[in-house]
Amino acid sequence: MRRQRKRTELSVEDMEFRATLLRSLGNCLEAADKLSEIYKKTNETLDLILGNQLEIKHTRTEITNIIQTPDSRPEERKNQVNDLKCKEAKNTQPEKQNEKRIQKCEDSVRSLWDSFKRTNIRIVGVPEDEREQDIENLFQEIMTENFPYLVKEMDLQVQEARRTPNKRNPKRTTPRHIIIKMPRAKDKERILKTARERQAVTYKGIPMRLSADFSTETLQARGEWQEIFKVMNAKNLQPRLLCPAKLSFRIEGQMKSFTDEERLGEFITTKPGLYEMLKSIL
């Protein structure tokens, strides 16, 4: 009986592992298709831009030649230049459209990377030599030290645990971050919410930080809010950075959110107090 139970347990574990592996493989194939489509559209857009740039360059060369030709009559020269300027203006319109297409492609790639990382937790501040070959259990210890009730309530599983970047830079004074890949996004969100509420998270008494993991572009966009975030936090406006890079805060009893500094700048012109607070930053 015991042997049969063990076999049944092993087979169930094996089935769960295979199901997880197939889901991961399916996600990878889907992402590869999307990347291929984005790559194709980006190449088409770049070809269009290069073609338009060549046409604009030829147009400017023609304008220069007409102006420098001494035999041309002033009136004819003026008309030719005006015609070519109109032609150049028409060429710049598709160039602007192409720039928008490129931006859209970049946003799609960023969104794709963020979706890959949507179940990841980034751990900052754990010493470099701490349990280097046993990071998964290290995460278990961090959870037990800070959130023992969560460990009891959740079926805490880890799909992947690693340092990033993979190779250690001897010139780097701060420890590399740790990336923990959870099987479910809701588990990640629950852990991060609890960490925010607790505020002080430690490992063996050493202060550290848990955060969501994003693409490089999204991390950069979130970083651009930091100075504004600090000012708002000091004024008790309850600022928050929402996914992927949106700033939210409370003003006059209402929550407001903005995706970029330009829109926030337009908004603060209608709020004198907020304008005085942020005018030196925006």
- What type of residue sits at position 67? I
Domain boundary among 213, 236, 255: 213
CATH number for the domain harbouring residue 236: 3.30.250.20
Examine residue 262 and state whether it is found in any structural domain, yes or no: yes
DSSP assignment string, 221-238:
HHHTTHHHHHHHHHTT--
> For position 281, what pLDDT does the model report?
86
> For position 113, what pLDDT does the model report?
84
Do 262 and 170 belong together in one domain?
no
Q: Give the integer Cα–Cα distance in Å for 143 and 137.
A: 10
Q: Splitting the chain (282 residues) into consecutive groups of 10 residues, what average pLDDT does each group show?
A: 47 63 69 67 65 61 58 54 59 67 76 86 87 83 93 88 84 89 92 90 92 87 90 92 88 91 91 90 83
> For position 8, what pLDDT does the model report?
47
Torsional sign, CA 164, 165, 170, 171: negative
Q: Give the integer Cα–Cα distance in Å for 58 and 62.
A: 6
Do 194 and 273 belong together in one domain?
no
Residue 111 contacts by C-beta under 8 Å, 6 or more apart in sequence? 244
CB 273 within 8 A of CB 282: no
The answer to whether the bond into 244 is cis (omega within 30° of 0) is yes
CB 151 within 8 A of CB 143: yes
pTM for this prediction: 0.58
> For position 108, what pLDDT does the model report?
77
- What type of residue sits at position 199? Q
